[in-house]
Amino acid sequence: MRGFPMQYPQDRQPPDAPLTDLAAMRPGAAGVIRAIEGEAALRRRLRHLGLRPGGAIRVVQKSSAGTVVSSRGLKLALAPAAARRVLIERDA
């Protein structure tokens, strides 16, 4: 199956990939935002909400409608598409 990305369970990462997207993290997991991918409008919106590279973040709740996170004392709800664009370095 050359050309298709390998799929990993949500609670595991490939050994050579230290970053994971926010949508793949489970409630209670925490880490540091390392990058925000996507269109400029999405990056700007998330920045205005306080999500910036280098900031600490924790997943509070997940559902099919999105992911609730806590960052800088605020709780934010992100749509699944937006959560997939936030790359996190998990806490050990």
Evaluate whether residue 4 is within a structural domain: no
Which residue ranges in the chain fall short of pLDDT 70? 1-17, 92
Tell me, what's the pLDDT at 18?
A: 83
Instruction: State phi, psi for 18 to the nearest 5 degrees.
Output: -75, -15
Q: How many residues does the chain have?
A: 92
Tell me, what's the pLDDT at 21?
A: 94
Evaluate whether residue 84 is within a structural domain: yes
Evaluate whether residue 69 is within a structural domain: yes
Q: Whole-structure pTM over 0.75, yes or no?
A: yes
Evaluate whether residue 26 is within a structural domain: yes
| pLDDT tens, residue by residue, 1-24 | 444 444 444 444 444 558 999 999
Domain carrying residue 48: 19-90
Task: Determine the Cα–Cα distance for residues 59 and 18; give it in Å rounded to an integer.
Answer: 18
Total domains in the chain come to 1
Evaluate whether residue 46 is within a structural domain: yes
Q: What's 79's domain CATH number?
A: 2.30.30.90
Tell me, what's the pLDDT at 32?
A: 94
Evaluate whether residue 1 is within a structural domain: no
